[in-house]
Amino acid sequence: MNGVSEARSPQAAPVPSPGRGRPRAFAPSGRAQLAGVGIDVVDVPRLTAMFARTPALRDRLLTPSERGLSDASRAARVAAKEAVGKALGAPGDYSWHDVTVERTVDRRPYLVLSGAALEAAEQLGVAHLHLSLSHDGDIATAIVVAERGAPAADDASIDRGER
């Protein structure tokens, strides 16, 4: 031996677990509990310019609690509202104010639905809405996954910081 560790023989190599190293398809299933998925992107400067030109548009798209946010955060809220509409199959009488993005104490975003958006979610059997928001540079994006199932007991699982 010259200070170099001895090479392992092929028999000493770890045995791969079943499926390891082989591709696996993740195709949609008829048993899936997803009611829908929506995604949207918003150009932050374009939306900001639209709000400057037409202040009533800001009021039509955003709830009072959303209007005072940064430009990027407002754009992410608009993207979230669009993504919810897509996830729920674009309910016909859907209003922008039917969807509000709130945050938990630890700053995780969640959705509050009312009106036609809530009715559409209930008709689809939606129990949970998963929301991801992001903004980078001039683009804000939102993804919403609508999941069927039993709803949490009066949504007590959300810590809104209310005491």
SS3 category, 163: coil
Helix (H) or strand (E) holding 75: helix 71-87
Q: How far apart are CA 3 and CA 18, in angstroms?
A: 36
- Known binding residue 6? Answer is no
Decide: 145 and 34 in contact? Cβ < 8 Å: yes
Cα–Cα distance between 138 and 3 in angstroms, integer? 56
Contact 65, 100 (CB under 8 A): yes
- Is residue 131 within 8 Å of residue 142, measured between CB atoms? yes
43 annotated to a ligand binding site: no
Which residues are known binding-site members?
40, 82
Q: Which residues fall in the annotated binding site for Mg(2+)?
A: 40, 82
